[in-house]
Amino acid sequence: MAERIIVIDDDPVILKEALRSLKGAGMKTVALKSGEQLLEYISQNESPELILLDIKMPGMDGFETLIRLRKMENKGNETPVIFLTGQEDEEAEIRGLLLGAMDFISGVLNLRVRHAVELIKLQKNLAKEVEKKTKENEELFLQVVASLADAIDAKDAYTKGHSGRVAAYAREIARRCGYDEAQLDAVYMMGLLHDVGKIGVPDNIINKTGRLTDEEFAKIKKHPEIGGRILENIQKMPELVCGAKWHHERFDGKGYPDGLSGFDIPETARIIAVADAYDAMTSNRSYRNVLPQAKVRAEIEEGMGRQFDPRFAGIMLEMIDEDKDYTMRDRPD
């Protein structure tokens, strides 16, 4: 398929020559006579591979046209532009390049345009390949994290799926707060890994059915710090530490490990704290069954401003109220 090039020049002789030259080189070319026509064309058609734009034109000159082109949403704001000029003008070239022009052409049109189009294609293909590989790496990382979360949950026969549910609840709370997709993915990942520190807690303590001794509870309370140390090693995602290390902090400052309070607790940790508490109450445990929904709601409401950030606890209450059939919980069956 021939490349689509738009040429804009108010001089009909130059325009005709450019069309003849480019078409002869096998390039599909559209001719326009002004910047206004270009903006109109771009708004109604697919973006071209390349725009060849004259600088000196009546009405909008080439510089003004490029400025307005870059302000267009979705179309035109990334289309490569090469300025056509009949004379060498260093000042004009500097101005054009600062505005985002790709190049200036004053001669050897076919060869320069062909090289420009090939470079653009190469850049697009490279960007697509990088995007593809990045996506593949992200999916692989998520699979590894999900498998790790399952391994953590498997230490306790009563917490199967806990990390996944906490991640899902936390993501929904964040979504209702207006987080973008990248932020939602990060919150979900933090939810999956929030209990990673339990790797360092003996199984006999995690699975104990009776009341924990003070010494045993002290060991349980170490899992946030252990999790924080583990996740500190993932330097490319430093935010992962937040969920693991501070999801047991309380809004009133009576939590652990650092006794943080209020907005000193990272926001993502405050979100995960609510999600974690909700799942703990709506899942079967070795010492009790799932709590009634009304009891869960009352506990979340009572904890607003004390255990939980009121904003995120309020969102969880909204989610509970929408869950008429109490399906948002651990359902082993």
Instruction: Give residue 1's pLDDT.
Output: 40
Do 99 and 196 belong to one domain?
no
- Mean pLDDT of successive 10-residue stretches along the chain, which has 333 residues: 71 75 72 86 82 82 85 69 68 68 56 56 66 70 71 69 92 96 92 89 81 89 92 83 95 96 97 96 81 96 97 98 92 58
Instruction: Let me know whether 36 and 115 are in one domain.
Output: yes
Residue 136 lies in a domain: no
- Cα–Cα distance measured from residue 198 to residue 224, given in angstroms and rounded to the nearest whole number: 8
User: Which of 88, 112, 127 represents a domain boundary (last residue)?
Assistant: 127
pLDDT at res. 27: 72
Residues 93 and 166 in one domain: no
**Whether the predicted model's global pTM rises above the 0.85 cut:** no
Which CATH number is 293's domain given? 1.10.3210.10
Active-site option among 16, 28, 128, 198: 198
Is 198 tagged catalytic? yes
In a domain, 149, yes or no: no
Asked if residue 91 belongs to a domain, the reply is: yes
**Domain co-membership, 163 together with 122:** no
* Torsion angle, alpha carbons of 314, 319, 321, 327, to 10: -150
Q: What is the pLDDT of residue 83?
A: 79
Specify whether 256 is located in the same domain as 201: yes
**Does residue 61 sit in the same domain as residue 205?**
no
How many domains is the chain partitioned into structurally? 2
Residues 313, 165, single domain; the answer is yes
Q: Identify whether residues 81 and 172 lie together within a single domain.
A: no
Nearest-angstrom CA–CA distance, 243 and 257:
12
Single residue among 86, 112, 127 that ends a domain in this structure: 127
Q: Is residue 133, in this structure, part of any structural domain at all? A: no
Residue 294 falls inside a structural domain? yes
Percent pLDDT > 90 in the chain is 35
Quote the domain boundaries for residue 260.
Answer: 154-322
**β-strands 103-105, 81-84: how paired?**
parallel
| Cα-based distances in Å from 119 to 66, 80, 136, 139 | 20, 11, 26, 30
Contact 191, 243 (CB under 8 A): yes
63: left (phi over 0), alpha (psi -120 to 50) or beta: alpha
Residue 56 covered by a domain: yes
On whether both 102 and 192 belong to a single domain, the answer is no
Claim to verify: residue 301 and residue 202 sit in the same structural domain: yes
Residues 108 and 159 in one domain: no
101 and 183 together in one domain = no
Omega before residue 257 within 30° of 0, cis: yes
Q: What is the pLDDT of residue 159?
A: 66
- Alpha carbon 81 to its chain's center: 29
